[in-house]
Amino acid sequence: QEITAKYQILEQVGSGAYSDVYRGRRISDGLIIALKEVHDYQSAFREIEALQILQRSSPNVVALHEYFWREDEDAVLVLEFLRTDLASVIGEAKKRGQGSLSVGEIKRWMLQILNGVEACHRNLIVHRDLKPGNLLVSDDGVLKIADFGQARILLEHNNVASDNEQQPYEQAVSEQQSYVNPSLELIDKEEYFRGLDQFKPQNVHHDEADKETNSCLATCCTASDLDDDPFKTSSYSCQLEEGGGEYGALGPLTSCIGTRWFRAPELLYGSTNYGLEVDLWSLGCIFAELLALEPLFPGVSDIDQLSRIITVLGNLSEDVWADCSKLPDYNTISFGKVESPMSIGSRLSHRSADEVSLVSKLLCYDPAKRATTTELLQDKYFLEEPLPVPVSGLKVPS
């Protein structure tokens, strides 16, 4: 009722696995917004939590105006409305023909994507479903990362002992300080709080004025929920070290996430302790698609997906990724020896060496070798002629 008093639904504009999305109007001032009805508790929780943390962190992440929980655990997110997406930009360019996206335009699209993903990773949020269809585009060419329904937050506890001395748990509790479990530097906040007390965010309503970073926990958990929390003085969002730092691993995760074409090889091999680098792989696939105007690895099954990757990059072996044999499915999935891999260059044959090199920096088997968003934002490719066009110079499908 609260929603219908404030917003008028105009028409349905999309739907996803767990959601229906409508174009709507805010009654008070006529602002056009998107109403995303999410029918899955976990997906709604993840999307709200991630978006709250990311608000105002980058112009390239979709804005969440407010959200409503319904009694049956559905949520309605009020998002800024973005009419089109990068998949349509690529589709239109393809129709116009090869070369119809100028290098300057490609650079500006890439920079906007990198800027948005950098904000996610700076806040230790792994999106896990980056693809052109989830990169929404406004009429004036601003690209915004959307659909955080699969996002996870890597929680790194404040390491209070700067000399790397870990405090024992009991001492930390008695001194009301944060405890850093040496074997568990990064835990998943959501799982953690679920374990604490099965709190249900019932009737939680966020006001537009209340957009304080990380306010979700403060709003969703009462103070008593946190009373027994030995970590309560720890920081919920933390910065990566200057220059990218170490990307941490998550606790057990599902490998069956994300859209197959953009899924990192470690996920295809069943990894459950992957990190932010899965997004970097997706970025490599998206950049290649911007450059070639067609998907790089359009697998029709998970095995076909891996087989396409191996045809281009060669077999996955300890030579390229020392730890690869630890992947759960490394020994169960085997391919014949690819004697002469195609290489990314031959898949992007009409593109420049700098462009091939940029994509190659992302599409490494070893997650630790993938270039980070911070590194890529400083890549000389973006500083050289032809320079990125201004956002207003981008062609947006009508």
Smaller CB separation from ligand ADP, 150 or 177: 150
1: CB partners within 8 A, 6+ apart: none
Stretch that binds ligand ADP, among 104-112, 117-125, 146-154, 247-255 (CB under 6 A): 146-154
Stretch that binds ligand ADP, among 8-16, 117-125, 248-256, 335-343 (CB under 6 A): 8-16
Q: How many CB atoms lie within 10 A of CB 17?
A: 10
| 369 belongs to an annotated ligand binding site | no
Total binding residues for ligand ADP by CB under 6 A?
21
Verify whether residue 279 is a known catalytic residue: no
Binding mask of the shown chain, residues 204 to 233, with x at each position contacting ligand ADP by CB under 6 A: ------------------------------
Binding mask of the shown chain, residues 51 to 90, with x at each position contacting ligand ADP by CB under 6 A: -----------x----------------xxxx--------
**Least distance in Å: CB of 134 to ligand ADP?**
6
Say whether residue 282 binds ligand ADP (CB under 6 A): no
User: Which residue, among 361, 374, 346, 394, has the nearest Cα to 103 in the 3D structure?
Assistant: 394
Q: Are strands 64-69 and 75-80 parallel, antiparallel or unpaired?
A: antiparallel
Residue 83: what residue type? Answer: R
Smaller CB separation from ligand ADP, 51 or 110: 51
Q: In angstroms, how far is CA 354 from the centroid of its own chain? A: 25
Among 106, 146, 180, 278, binds ligand ADP (CB under 6 A): 146
Q: Which residue has the tokens 């955080």?
A: 148
Stretch that binds ligand ADP, among 10-18, 187-195, 263-271, 350-358 (CB under 6 A): 10-18
Binding mask of the shown chain, residues 104 to 143, with x at each position contacting ligand ADP by CB under 6 A: -----------------------------xx-x-------
Reduce the DSSP state of residue 191 to 3 states and report it: helix
Q: What does each C-alpha distance from 330 to 246, 271, 333 come to in angstroms? A: 24, 10, 6
Say whether residue 34 binds ligand ADP (CB under 6 A): yes
Say whether residue 18 binds ligand ADP (CB under 6 A): yes
User: Which residue, among 167, 9, 127, has the nearest Cα to 78 in the 3D structure?
Assistant: 9
Structure tokens at 189: 């906040």
Give dist(CA 271, CA 316) in Å, integer: 14
Among 3, 8, 10, 14, binds ligand ADP (CB under 6 A): 14
> Dihedral, CA atoms, 88, 127, 118, 319, nearest 10 degrees?
-100
Smaller CB separation from ligand ADP, 14 or 91: 14
Say whether residue 270 binds ligand ADP (CB under 6 A): no
Say whether residue 359 binds ligand ADP (CB under 6 A): no
Cis check for the bond before 201: say yes or no (omega within 30 of 0): no
Any bridge partners for residue 23, and if so which?
11, 34
Say whether residue 17 binds ligand ADP (CB under 6 A): yes
Say whether residue 284 binds ligand ADP (CB under 6 A): no
**Least distance in Å: CB of 176 to ligand ADP?**
39
Give dist(CA 271, CA 306) in Å, integer: 14
Smaller CB separation from ligand ADP, 148 or 321: 148
Alpha helix positions (H), 8-58: 41-54
Among 10, 13, 226, 391, binds ligand ADP (CB under 6 A): 13
Options 85, 129, 279, 302, the catalytic residue? 129
CB 158 within 8 A of CB 172: no
Say whether residue 147 binds ligand ADP (CB under 6 A): yes
Give dist(CA 286, CA 293) in Å, integer: 10
Residue 378 gets the label, from left (phi > 0), alpha (psi -120 to 50) or beta, of: alpha
Smaller CB separation from ligand ADP, 9 or 218: 9
Smaller CB separation from ligand ADP, 279 or 355: 279
* Extended beta strands in the chain, E state: 7-15, 19-26, 32-38, 64-69, 75-80, 84-85, 125-126, 135-137, 143-145, 152-156, 186-188
- Given the rule CB under 6 A, which residues bind ligand ADP? 13-19, 21, 34, 36, 62, 79-82, 133-134, 136, 146-147, 149
* Residues carrying an active site annotation: 129
Q: Which residue ranges make up the annotated binding site?
A: 36
Known binding residues for ATP are: 36
